[in-house]
Amino acid sequence: MAGPLTGEERPGMRRLFVCSSPEELARAAAGRLWGIVRERGAAQEKGKGRPGGIAVALSGGATPRRFLETLAASPYRERFPWNRVHFFQTDERWVPPDDPRSNQRMLRESLVAAGPVPEGNFHPVDLSLPDPAASARRYEEHLRRFFPKSPGGFPRFDAVFLGIGSDGHTASLFPGSPVLEERKAWVAHAEGGAPSLGRVTLTLPVLNNAFRVIFLASGEEKAEILRVVLQGEGTGSLPAARVSPRQGRVTWLVDSTAASALPSRGSSPPGNGGDPA
């Protein structure tokens, strides 16, 4: 099991696990989520932590698909506590829900339609509103109903799964975006991507209030940005490098091609991450 990237294990530290293939990355991510859900469920049963279900925020893009398909299939299909877990979006692109670029289309196909996610446990961004700014406000209102008490002023997701773009963006927080400096709103209208699109995104204070943040990265095209971010090369400005929960922990789950530019090869993920297999 790889140690933290720097220093001893403590909240706010980062851990790196290198998987041998995208398939092993998917299994490691599903196992990590299973472990977090068990940990948080146990805490809730003891009256600790936030009552009312376990909140997981999922990013879009292509990387999460295999992970979510793994979660929707055996053995998770039969054993994961689906009724206790609520799935939210970290961000959405302002395209129709059936557009191939839509993040919620990917989530519906790989998880919601494939796995036994109860009606009401998937919380998509509302794309029926006139524009992304209105949709961001609506999503924030929805989150405020789900997280009625938010000590510190921000919701605390139990797990946030993020990706990273080759430019260092994460969720829909892009380098140089004014949204990176948002300190009050939970959800914001952003612009970004290639070609640029309207976006709806969780803000940095929300990501940095999470109990656990898990970055997933796969493929050669992520090798250089992973090296830059994980080696901390003056990257305070890169959005992915600014995700560092004060009381949470960041885990990087990457495959060997994404890790190919890292000096230390890291280690394979722990056991089965607590998965039910």
Binding site for ligand 6PG (CB under 6 A): 59-63, 91, 93, 103, 163-165, 169-172, 193
φ, ψ for residue 213, nearest 5 deg: -115, 130
Q: Which of 214, 213, 170, 208 is nearest to 192 (CA)?
A: 170
CA distances from 166 to 29, 225, 236 (A): 21, 6, 16
Cβ neighbours for 47, distance < 8 A, ≥ 6 positions apart:
none
- The encoded tokens of residue 245 equal 């929960």
Shortest distance, CB of residue 264 to ligand 6PG, whole angstroms? 23
CB of 240 to ligand 6PG, least distance (A): 9
User: Would you state the structure tokens that stand for residue 111, as one six-digit string?
Assistant: 């998880």
* Cα–Cα distance for residue pair 11/243, rounded to 1 Å: 13
Q: Which helix (H) or strand (E) holds 212?
A: strand 212-217
Rounded to whole angstroms, how far apart are CA atoms 97 and 60? 13
User: Measured from the CB atom, is 78 or 220 closer to ligand 6PG?
Assistant: 220
Q: Nearest approach, Cβ of 147 to ligand 6PG (angstroms)? A: 21
Give the residue with the Cβ less far from ligand 6PG, 61 or 269.
61
How many beta carbons lie within 10 A of that of residue 145, not counting itself? 8
CB 26 within 8 A of CB 262: no
Smaller CB distance to ligand 6PG: residue 50 or 124? 124
Rounded to the nearest whole angstrom, what is the least distance from the CB of residue 21 to ligand 6PG in the complex?
16
Nearer to ligand 6PG among residue 65 and residue 138 (C-beta): 65
Please state the closest distance from residue 175 (CB atom) to ligand 6PG, in A.
Answer: 12
Nearer to ligand 6PG, 170 or 203 (CB): 170
Residue whose CB is less far from ligand 6PG, 172 or 256: 172
Q: What type of residue is 102?
A: S
Tell me which residue has its CB nearest to ligand 6PG: 163
Q: Which is nearer to ligand 6PG, 82 or 253 (CB)?
A: 253
Task: Tell the residue number behind the tokens 């893009």, with chain if given.
Answer: 61
Q: Which helix (H) or strand (E) holds 189?
A: strand 187-192
Q: How far is the CB of 221 from ligand 6PG (least distance, A)?
A: 8
Question: Pairing state of beta strands 91-93 and 197-202?
Answer: antiparallel
Q: Shortest distance, CB of residue 37 to ligand 6PG, whole angstroms?
A: 21
